[in-house]
Amino acid sequence: MKKTESFFLDVYEVVRLIPKGRVSSYGAIARYLGTGKSARMVGWAMNAAHDQKPKVPAHRVVNRNGMLSGKMHFSDPDKMQQLLEKEGITVNDDQVINFSSLCWDPSIELG
């Protein structure tokens, strides 16, 4: 069984579940998937998210600080912030404002 593959798909699935106008963190997703400390694997999965047919809203995934650490990996660095602002999320200095309230933790929201 391709463990890594299911892990990637699982990450994409969770990311798609992030409601519009909300954001999540790599660590929160990692913990929900059971990887726990391996939040890097979530980011690594995101690296391949561009190739996914169902478009993955990777712009809704930021680090635990609410900083757009992955903006540079988008087609255009500013695209990520534009998408977030388009959904009603305020971004300043590559950082999500009021992130604490906007943080969408799957381990909590999904139960």
Q: How far apart are CA 14 and CA 85, in angstroms?
A: 21
Indicate the residue among 19 and 36 with the shorter CB distance to DNA. 36
Indicate the residue among 65 and 90 with the shorter CB distance to DNA. 65
Q: How far apart are CA 26 and CA 40, in angstroms?
A: 7
Least distance in angstroms from the C-beta of 86 to DNA: 16
Least distance in angstroms from the C-beta of 104 to DNA: 13
**Site residues, DNA (CB under 7 A):** 3-4, 25-28, 30, 35, 37-44, 46-47, 49-50, 58-59, 61, 63-65, 69-70, 72-74
Least distance in angstroms from the C-beta of 49 to DNA: 5
CB 96 within 8 A of CB 90: yes
Question: How many Cβ atoms sit within 10 Å of the Cβ of residue 101?
Answer: 7
Indicate the residue among 69 and 107 with the shorter CB distance to DNA. 69
Token pair for 76:
């255009």
Least distance in angstroms from the C-beta of 78 to DNA: 13
Indicate the residue among 2 and 111 with the shorter CB distance to DNA. 2
Token pair for 31:
């913990």
Q: How far apart are CA 101 and CA 43, in angstroms?
A: 22
